[in-house]
């Protein structure tokens, strides 16, 4: 009972502090976006729009006011569930994000799944017998994996698996000849299961594999390496030798008593890497013509779409905060030492 209380308090505390982080981030991004050179109203309306119209548009966006007044207007909108009008789509930024985010999230979550499974199994496999063939292959893979960025992987995978081998589709979320399921969550995988359309489900998964893999390879290599290093260090520690001195089976020792302490640093980095997937997804989405947040975000940057820049950044920030929260909760669960500090 007491432990539950502590967890609840801990989570509530974290959520509370997260609100402040988001608030600070919004101020920072809001100011930065407006400090960039260039006139957003002029960019939005084009070079041929008459000056009066541009002026009027500027007034509508409150761009003629001091920056802190602009921020107050923006904050007022936020409390009325609006992130302001996009200067590109002329719709509310929140509506735009609702449209584009699910595709990105589906990609990122699928990629995160591959990442977790891949990193853990490679790390464990390679740490089991340091210096073995499997270990050496993994280490070569991890050097390559870390040194090649995600968008290059995207092109390589596309080249091999769709142009040469033709196993997976090269672009898009779903094939043209398949009717997309009615939108419920915006995740085609889930929506197709809800509507019982198994063909759409398989097709959606096939479309996901390459971009998700392209995103996951780098982090997989990175974390498999860290996990391996931790495992190798841990199995030389006295608390493992102590268990060995009692004749406990090697696999029990490795998969239970060595893996758990070795996981702690990996979980932290994994959380950050998973959150970074959304940012890395920008280029990968372009390559795979994935209708996600990326094109929207990039257009926002290029065309100085103030509200969209702030909106997209806040979404990315929010994802980081949630990822950190989850990481903290997992570590809280597996590391009793952290639990002790927090409960004091």
Partner 1 sequence: MVLEMRSQENSLLKISDLRVDYKSYWYFYHVLNGISLNLKQGEKVGLIGESGSGKTTLLKSILGILPPQGKIVSGDIIFRGINLTKTNNNILKEIRRKSIGMIFQDPLSALNPVFTIKEQLFEILKWSSEYKKQLNEESLKEAAYKLLTEVSLPEPDRILESYPFQLSGGMRQRVMIAMALASARELLLADEPTTNLDVTIQDQILKLINNLINEKKLSLILVSHALGMISKMTDRTYVIYGGDIMEEAPTKKLFKEPLHPYTKLLIESVPRLYGKGIGEGIKGNPPDYRNPPTGCRFHLRCPFASEICRKKKPELISIENRKVSCHLYTEN
Query: Which stretches of the chain bind partner 1, using CB under 8 A?
Result: 130, 232, 235-249, 252, 257, 260-261, 264, 334-337, 340
**Minimum distance of partner 1 from residue 293's CB (angstroms):** 38
Instruction: Mark 19-50 as b/e (b = at least 16 C-beta within 10 Å).
Output: eeeeeebbeebbeebbeeeeebbebbbeeeee
For partner 1, the closer of residues 63 and 240 by Cβ is 240
For partner 1, the closer of residues 13 and 237 by Cβ is 237
Token pair recorded at residue 115: 């990442």
Inter-residue contact 195 to 324 (CB < 8 Å): no
For partner 1, the closer of residues 127 and 218 by Cβ is 127
For partner 1, the closer of residues 10 and 73 by Cβ is 10
For partner 1, the closer of residues 52 and 238 by Cβ is 238
**Minimum distance of partner 1 from residue 326's CB (angstroms):** 19
For partner 1, the closer of residues 192 and 234 by Cβ is 234
Inter-residue contact 262 to 234 (CB < 8 Å): yes
Q: Which long-range contacts (CB under 8 A, 24 or more apart) does 242-247 make?
A: none
Spatial distance between the Cα atoms of 180 and 201, rounded to a whole number of angstroms: 9
**Minimum distance of partner 1 from residue 90's CB (angstroms):** 55
Cβ neighbours of 306 (radius 10 Å) = 26
Alpha helices in the chain (DSSP H): 2-35, 40-45, 51-60, 67-79, 93-128, 133-147, 150-157, 188-194, 198-234, 238-244, 250-252, 259-287, 293-302, 306-334, 336-343
For partner 1, the closer of residues 217 and 235 by Cβ is 235
**Minimum distance of partner 1 from residue 250's CB (angstroms):** 9
For partner 1, the closer of residues 177 and 245 by Cβ is 245
Residue 277 to residues 111, 150, 281, Cα–Cα distance (Å): 8, 10, 6
**Minimum distance of partner 1 from residue 256's CB (angstroms):** 8
Inter-residue contact 199 to 179 (CB < 8 Å): no
For partner 1, the closer of residues 254 and 288 by Cβ is 254
**Minimum distance of partner 1 from residue 248's CB (angstroms):** 5
**Minimum distance of partner 1 from residue 137's CB (angstroms):** 20
Spatial distance between the Cα atoms of 145 and 217, rounded to a whole number of angstroms: 6
Q: Report how far apart the first and last C-alpha atoms of the chain are (Å, whole number).
A: 16
Q: What three-state secondary structure class fits 104?
A: helix
172: nearest Cα among 198, 206, 149, 217: 206
**Minimum distance of partner 1 from residue 130's CB (angstroms):** 7
Residue 220 to residues 87, 113, 189, 226, Cα–Cα distance (Å): 38, 11, 23, 10
Q: What three-state secondary structure class fits 92?
A: strand
**Minimum distance of partner 1 from residue 118's CB (angstroms):** 24
């Amino acid at each position: 009972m007491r432990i539950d209380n502590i967890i609840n308090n801990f989570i509530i505390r974290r959520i509370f502090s997260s609100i402040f982080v988001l608030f600070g981030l919004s101020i920072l991004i809001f100011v930065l976006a407006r400090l960039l050179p260039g006139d957003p109203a002029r960019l939005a309306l084009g070079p041929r729009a008459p000056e009066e119209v541009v002026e009027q548009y500027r007034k509508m966006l409150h761009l003629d006011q001091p920056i802190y007044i602009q921020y107050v207007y923006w904050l007022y909108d936020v409390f009325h569930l609006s992130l302001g009008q996009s200067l590109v789509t002329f719709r509310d930024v929140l509506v735009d994000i609702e449209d584009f985010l699910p595709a990105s999230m589906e990609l990122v979550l699928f990629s995160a799944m591959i990442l977790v499974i891949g990193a853990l199994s490679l790390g464990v496999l390679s740490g089991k017998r340091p210096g073995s063939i499997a270990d050496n292959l993994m280490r070569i893979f991890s050097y390559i994996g870390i040194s090649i960025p995600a968008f290059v992987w995207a092109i390589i995978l596309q080249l091999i698996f769709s142009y040469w081998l033709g196993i997976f589709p090269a672009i898009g979320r779903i094939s043209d000849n398949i009717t997309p399921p009615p939108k419920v969550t915006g995740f085609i995988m889930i929506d197709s299961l809800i509507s019982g359309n198994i063909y759409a489900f398989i097709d959606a998964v096939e479309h996901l594999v390459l971009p998700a893999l392209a995103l996951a390879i780098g982090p997989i290599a990175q974390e498999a390496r860290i996990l391996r290093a931790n495992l190798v260090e841990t199995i030389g520690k006295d608390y493992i030798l102590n268990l060995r001195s009692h004749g406990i089976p090697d696999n029990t020792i490795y998969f239970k008593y060595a893996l758990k302490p070795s996981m702690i640093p990996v979980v932290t980095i994994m959380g950050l890497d998973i959150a970074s997937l959304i940012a890395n997804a920008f280029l990968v989405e372009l390559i795979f013509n994935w209708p996600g947040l990326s094109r929207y975000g990039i257009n926002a940057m290029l065309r100085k779409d103030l509200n969209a820049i702030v909106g997209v950044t806040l979404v990315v920030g929010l994802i980081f905060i949630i990822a950190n929260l989850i990481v903290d909760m997992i570590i809280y669960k597996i590391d009793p030492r952290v639990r002790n500090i927090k409960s004091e």
